[in-house]
Amino acid sequence: MVALHWLPVASRGLGLAMAEGLAEAGSTVVVNGRSPETLETAASVLRNRGLNAEIAAFDVTDSRGTQAAIDSIVARHGRLDILIANAGLHHRAALADWTPEAWDQILATNLKACFFLAQHAAASMRQQGFGRILFTSSITAFLGRSTIHAYVASKSGLAGLTRSLAAELGEHGITCNAICPGYFETELTAPLLRDEAFVARVNSRIPLRRWGKPRDLAGVAVFLASDAAPYITGQQIVVDGGYTTSL
C-alpha cells in the first residue's frame, strides 16, 4: 500500500502504533499532536527503522489550523489518502459534579474535532476519487459506564457520524469506519493498570484474559485503510479481546 496517511495525536499509544503499522505497509505517515518536540521524537523512532514519517503540529480543535495543515500536506505530497482521527480526552466525575466547561471540552475534542477533520480531509479525497477515513472510537459506543458521561456520549456520537459520512461520501470512493478498542495498555489507562483488583476483574471478562497492547490495533487500521477493504464502510470494528461478546 503506497499512500499518504495523516494521523492526529499519534505521538504515543494507540495512535503511534497505528502510524507504525501503516508506515510498515508502505504509507508515508504524517503524525500530529500539539508538541513539535514530542512529535519529532515519535517520528524519529519510525525514521530510524527506515520508515517514511513526517510531523504536523497543531491543535485538532482549531478548525482553521486543521484546514491549514491539510492544505499543506496536500500541497507537499499531491494527495491525502488516509485520515485517522484519533484525538481523544477523558474526564471522570459523578453526574452532579460535571460542569458545562468539562462537557464541552470532551465533546470538542472527541467528536467535533473528528467531524471537521473529516470535512477538511474529504475535500481533497473527493477530488482524487479515493479516501479512507477512520475514527478511533471505543466499546463505550455500545456499553455505558458511570462517571464518564461525556466520553460515552462522544463515542456514541462517532458511531452515528461514521454512518452518516459513509452514506454521503461513498459515491466519491471514500469509505468511513470506526475502530472501537476495549481495554488497552496506554498512558491514558495507566491509573487503572495500577489497580490490581480492577485489572483482574477486567481480565476475568476478557476471553483472551489480557488487556490489549497498542500493536494489537495496528492490523485492523492497516486492513481498513488498504485495498483489502474497499467494500467495507459505515462499520464499527470492535477490537477488545472478546470483552463485549460474553456475559
Residue 151 known to be catalytic: yes
Question: From the candidates 151, 183, 231, 243, which is the catalytic residue?
Answer: 151
| Separation CA 21–CA 4 (nearest Å) | 13
The position carrying cell 504536523 is 56
Provide φ and ψ at 76, rounded to 5°: -80, -35
Residue 177: strand pairing partners: 134
Distance between first and last Cα of the chain = 39
Chain Cα centroid distance, residue 136: 3
Residue 134: strand pairing partners: 84, 177
Catalytic center residues: 151
